[in-house]
Structure formats: structure tokens, C-alpha cells
Amino acid sequence: MLLTRIRVPGRARDEWPFILPAVRMLSGRGLRFTAGVTFFIGENGSGKSTIVEAIADACGINAEGGKAGTKYASRGPTTMLGEVLDAELTVAGFRLLDGPRLKRRGFFFRVETLFNLAQNVSGRYGFWEDDLTEQSHGEGFFTVLDRMVSGPGLYLMDEPEAALSFSSCLQLMGLMDRVARQGGQIVCATHSPILGIGRSPAWPSTPPAARCFCRRSRPAGTPSTGRTMPTSRWAATTKPERSVPDGVREVREELGLDIAYWELQPLGIRQTAVTLDPGWVEREFQYWHLLPLDASLEEIPLDDSEVSGLVQIDLSDAIALAGGDRVKVAARYLLRTEEGREYVDGTLSRDKLIPGYLDTDGDQLYLRLFIAAHRYLGGERTHLFW
């Protein structure tokens, strides 16, 4: 990896492009890159190209398109987002993007300005030899891609499929796969369903270190022990005073993390019946969400006193445990004690899970949540919750 994270430090400004949901998501923890190829997919005006341009600015590549380390007479001012975007690079990324100018390896393939750029650089050292005006748009695209997108380096693309046929899009996927295997990194904004749903062994579907967290609740009148439940619930009931901000506030209070609503991945609605006393049953609707986190157990503040601790287990182990294939799995505990926080390596067994969430006669909530997380990490965004 060359580029590992982008973020906007401080509070987001109340103006465009910072009001776009995709850009607001970059505040706080930002966006981490975990694969050799990353696609930005969304509706027109959602901010895909805006973010790619800002990455170019932050990494020293001309946001109007072109090669890292090259001075262009047409270079415009830095974009508003690019002025503040913080791009975190690995040592290799820093060397390839901020090292000696002639050794920098980065290119922004921007369709809107490609042929204007070609008029100035075709035939020059470090670029391509062919005259793009003598080729079709699609042929010209691959003349540039084959020469400029190869080997280790950061390669940004904004809708590269614009002039490509079906077979050419498949060819582009092959190029992306080759570059990722060579140690390069590609960030691409696209509308192409071929690129968007494509997958290659070089683009990992599930991070190998995928983990899930479960919460240890503190039953009334007992010490800090109890059953383990998922942390993924945003328990918004049908009570009229309940609101979206209240539900997100609950996540902040329990985990101590500054979570915005758009960081939650909606799963579905679950109806339950809560027995408050022998003569009263309250029915509620629970809105369930996934909270994707790139954080270790040690990084979670865990502020709420109702939560006695968290349990971290491998996602594959969680699925096996919830499905009944395992009765016990390795786990790491964060416990709240009178002396402070304590971390313990141990095991988690099925009898520590809430029976109603395991019951095959019920809705198997544990298994549904863990599989939804696995599907999400595999790139799916719909039909996560069966």
C-alpha cells in the first residue's frame, strides 16, 4: 500500500463540498485503504470526482490530470477539499510521490482533460509516443493507460470507462489487476457496473484481520459479568420521542466514539416484545445497523457505565460459534474494573451468548449479524440481512 488513509482534520465546514455526505465521512477517522484497487461508486453529484481530485492535490499530482513530478503551465489552483485533505502515505508511498521529481510514480487519468493534456506531452520523455489524434477515443485511452499506469505507483482515475466498449472495460480490469499485483495502487471513480462489481484475487474481498466486537452487559445488582450481545444495535423504538440523533447518541455513549449517522450501514428492522413486568408487554421496533470500524480494541474508549466490557473475536469464528459449528472460540476481552481498563486473552463459549439470539426457532440474530458483516466486507451493500 502507498496511500493508507485520507481524512479532513477538525470540524467539517458548512459549505460545498464539505456538506456532501461522502466528504463529511472523511472528518474524524476518515477513509482507510486496504486493497490495491478502490472504487468510488455513487450518483451524479455525490462527490466521487471531488474526492479523487482532492487526493491528487494532497499527493502532489495535478488535479486537472497528469503525472506526478511534472510542472504544467495549465495547472490550476488547489481544490477546496485538496487544501485541507490529509493523505497518509507509507514509506514507499512517500518515496514514490514526494521523492526526487524524476522518480515520482503517480498519474491522474482524467477523461475531461486527457486530450488537452495529450497535445502538450505526447512524444515527450516519460510520456507516450503515439499521436492520440490519429486513434479512436478508446484506443487513445489505452495508449495512455498502458504507458502511464504500470508498476508501483499511485494511479487515480475519474470515469475511465467513458470511451470504452464492454470488452475494453474487461481489458481495463485486467490492467488494474496487473498493476495491483506489481505493487501499484489504484483509486477510481466510476459509473461502470462492469468495473464496480468486478473482482480479482488481487483485490481482497475480506480483510484477513476482520474482527467483530460484542458487548458485555452489566445486569442490575450483579458484578461486571453477564451475557454477551452484539454491539451493532441502534435501539430506536417506535416511541415518538425517539429520534435518529438519539440513536446515534446512544452509540457515542456506549462506545465513546464520535459516530455520525452516515457511518452506519443499515441492515433492517426487527420487531421484539419486551416484558417490563408480569402484567405489561411493550412491543418495539429495533433498527439494526453495522458500524464498520478500522480500530483495535485498545482504541475504543468505552465510556458508558452500563457496558462492563467488550469481547473481540475473529469474524470467521463468530460465524462458526453462532451457527453451532464451534462451542468455544478464542477471544480478547476489554474489561472495566475498579482499577481501570484491563485486557485479557481467553475464550468465548456459546453459553455466554443470549439464547434467544441463537435459537434456530427464532430469527438467529447473532448469525444474521455476523454474516451481514462478512457480506459487507466482501463488497456487498444490499441484501446483507436475510
* 171 and 215 part of one domain: no
Between these two residues, 11 and 329, which has the higher pLDDT value? 329
> Considering its fold, how many domains does the chain have in total?
2
**Is 297 within the bounds of a domain?**
yes
250: containing domain:
211-377
* 224 and 179 part of one domain: no
pLDDT in tens, 258-292: 777 777 888 888 777 655 566 666 667 777 888 88
Task: Write down the pLDDT at residue 86.
Answer: 94
* 176 and 271 part of one domain: no
**Is 246 within the bounds of a domain?**
yes
* 134 and 254 part of one domain: no
**Is 206 within the bounds of a domain?**
no
* 175 and 266 part of one domain: no
Model confidence band, residue 257 (pLDDT cutoffs 50, 70, 90): confident
| SS3 track for the chain | CCEEEEEECCCCCCCCCCCCHHHHCCECCCEECCCCEEEEECCCCCCHHHHHHHHHHHCCCCCCCEECCCCCCCCCCCCHHHHHCEEEECHHHHHHHHCCHHHCCEEEEEHHHHHHHHHHHCCCCCCCCCCHHHCCHHHHHHHHHHHHCCCCCEEEEECHHHHCCHHHHHHHHHHHHHHHHCCCEEEEEECCHHHHHCCCCCCCCCCCCCEEEEEEECCCCCCCCCCEEECCEECCCCCCCCCHHHHHHHHHHHHCCCCCHHHCEEEEEEEEEEEEECCEEEEEEEEEEECCCCCCHHHCCCCCCCEEEEEEEEHHHHHHHHHCCCCEEEEEEEEEECCEEEEEEEEEEHHHECHHHHCCCCCCHHHHHHHHHHHHHCCCCCCCCC
Q: What is the CATH number of the domain that holds 183?
A: 3.40.50
CA–CA separation, 127 vs 57, rounded Å? 21
Sequence-separated (6 or more) residues with CB below 8 Å from residue 119: none
- pTM greater than the 0.95 cutoff: no
CA–CA separation, 39 vs 362, rounded Å? 38
* 244 and 367 part of one domain: yes
Boundary residue ending a domain (197, 226, 252): 197
Task: Write down the pLDDT at residue 227.
Answer: 45
**Is 202 within the bounds of a domain?**
no
Model confidence band, residue 11 (pLDDT cutoffs 50, 70, 90): confident
* 218 and 88 part of one domain: no
* 193 and 315 part of one domain: no
Boundary residue ending a domain (197, 222, 237): 197
369 in the Ramachandran plot: left (φ > 0), alpha (ψ -120 to 50) or beta?
A: alpha
Boundary residue ending a domain (197, 227, 254): 197
How confident is the model over 313-329, as a mean pLDDT?
87
How confident is the model over 46-59, as a mean pLDDT?
94
* 17 and 84 part of one domain: yes
Model confidence band, residue 70 (pLDDT cutoffs 50, 70, 90): low
Is the pLDDT at 231 greater than 50? The verdict is no
**Is 260 within the bounds of a domain?**
yes
* 38 and 132 part of one domain: yes
Model confidence band, residue 194 (pLDDT cutoffs 50, 70, 90): confident
* 225 and 191 part of one domain: no
How confident is the model over 32-46, as a mean pLDDT?
88
* 17 and 123 part of one domain: yes
Cβ pair 234, 248 in contact under 8 A: yes
